[in-house]
Chains A and B, each alone.
Chain A
Amino acid sequence: MAKFEDGLYYSETHEYVRVEGNIAVIGISDYAQHALGTVVYVDMPEVDDEFEAGDEFGAVESVKAASDLNCPVGGTVVEVNEALEDEPGLLNKDAFANWIIKVEMSDASELDDLMDAKAYEEFCSKE
């Protein structure tokens, strides 16, 4: 069963945001990693890349398919999780502990457009 961690913001494209001050820590939900199966590659942006909310910032790939990653909030990439380059399967081990990028938010009010854990769980149950 997929976990839905409280206190995070979730997008309809299955990314989560953990807010740390002005930084959005972004990854894929546990529900998403379950649906993907074993992750074999994570395509990540570079530090200083800028994205608007909804922009594609990379992809996660399973054996069979590539799934786009969309930036739930706009801002500038300040860090990418380099551990995923050598060990993409970390996303399967713990999707919430293994974030993908950290973004300095340009407009924190965009978080209001995202779902909380309860709303996201309900969203997934209808997929």
Chain B
Amino acid sequence: MNKRTCLYEKHEALGALISPFGGFDMPIQYSSIIEEHNAVRQHCGVFDVSHMGEVRVTGNEAEKYVNHIFTNDIKDAPLGKVYYGMMCYPHGGVVDDLLVYKMGENDFFLVINAANIDKDVAWINEQAQGYDVKIDHQSDYYGQIAVQGPEAEAVVEEVLHLACKELVFYTTKEMEVEGETIIVSRTGYTGEDGFEIYASHGLICKMWYALMASGRCVPCGLGCRDTLRFEVGLPLYGDELSDSISPVMAGLSMFCKLDKEEFIGKEALAQQKQEGVSQRLRGIELEGNAVPRHGYTVLKDGKPVGEVTTGYRLISVEKSCAVALVDASLRLGDTVEVQIRKKTFPGVITKKIFYDKHYKK
């Protein structure tokens, strides 16, 4: 039996198509993926992302400990700063990719992927042996919504009455609402400006209701969350990152601070960086309208050279594109083919970003 978020009944009432994702029954679409995708690019959309997991790490050695399990560097971070990065295994494979929020001195809020909650919480607890930290798993307490799109700031200010204007990109603030402390950050997974809001189930339901009643944002399912994140080159754990796809292979070395004193996986990642990796993620732009999908084979001169991790007929631009794990010898501009059922379609190796991000810095 899959879990349900606090907004499940609201999705049913809206007639959402509901499918399992990460151990939850989640809304995939309400109207259509294309309409919802365009709403986020052009106006404003709201997502139920309550399936995401939350872990609070506090204690005298919280900073030291989080820096030990996290690839990015949070030492002496400014208060309210949000960091993207990974937790890696010693061999460099990825436990999960996550956001780390600095809520206070030695007080961090970790946001992890739904499908990895059990694994991550076990990992975080195991690695904490010997550190003076308190680990509080809060996934069951927090609901979460993401308000995304060029109009998100106005909607959050005017409909939810949250003072979010002052938040700059990738920062967070605790706010008091109805006697409750909620967490708001200027973050997202769409390539547009937007906010993510963490609060109790009751408050999240009230906010969702207010957003729907305002008529100023469209309810959006996980279907368009995936097309939006894919177009701007954001990875999804399980597709572009895994225990066998390291951040170096995924082209995410900028989030691994190898000049940091130490963190789990540092030696392996440093070695990969220095000696090179045999496979890495690349973009592929296909000729024509055919749709490359996860698992399809990539060929070079008729020989397999890799596999598609995610692919779509894009929505914001008229192109068929894929991200694929391919031989590292392939260079930008090289021609390849993708096997789609019985036919092969020519394409060219590109960067992994197919549409420009529109963040408000």
Contacts and interface: CB of A to CB of B under 8 A. Distances in A.
A64 B223 contact: yes
A64 B221 CA distance: 12
B77 interface: no
B314 to A, nearest CB: 9
B312 A63 contact: yes
Interface stretch (B28-36, B155-163, B256-264, B299-307): B28-36
A85 B33 CA distance: 21
A88 B313 CA distance: 12
A59 B341 contact: yes
Nearest to A42: B289
Given A43-B341, A61-B313, A63-B227, A37 B32 contact: yes
B315 interface: yes
A4 interface: no
Chain B interface size range: 10 to 19
B250 interface: no
A31 interface: no
A66 interface: yes
A40 interface: yes
A43 to B, nearest CB: 6
A91 to B, nearest CB: 13
B343 interface: yes
A19 B289 CA distance: 30
A43 B227 contact: no
A37 B227 CA distance: 15
A38 B34 contact: yes
B41 interface: no
Interface in B283-308: 289-291, 293
A37 B312 CA distance: 15
Given A38-B32, A40-B291, A88-B289, A63 B341 contact: no
A43 B340 contact: yes
B33 to A, nearest CB: 5
B289 A37 contact: no
Interface of B, helix, strand, loop or mixed by DSSP = mixed
Contacts of A41: 289-291, 313, 320
Contact of A43 (B223, B290, B293): B290
B290 A63 contact: no
A47 B9 CA distance: 50
A43 B293 CA distance: 14
A63 B293 CA distance: 10
A40 B289 contact: yes
Nearest to B289: A41
A40 B32 contact: no
A41 B320 CA distance: 10
Interface in A70-100: 85, 88
Contacts of A43: 290, 340-341, 343
Most B CB contacts (10 A, CB to CB) among A61, A66, A88 go to: A61
B39 to A, nearest CB: 14
A88 B318 CA distance: 13
Interface of B: 28-29, 32-34, 223, 227, 289-291, 293, 312-313, 315, 320, 340-341, 343
Interface of A: 37-38, 40-41, 43, 59, 61-64, 66, 85, 88
Which 6 pairs from chain A and chain B are nearest by CB? A40-B313, A63-B33, A41-B289, A61-B291, A41-B291, A37-B32
Given A43-B340, A63-B313, 4 more contacts: A40-B313, A41-B290, A63-B312, A88-B289
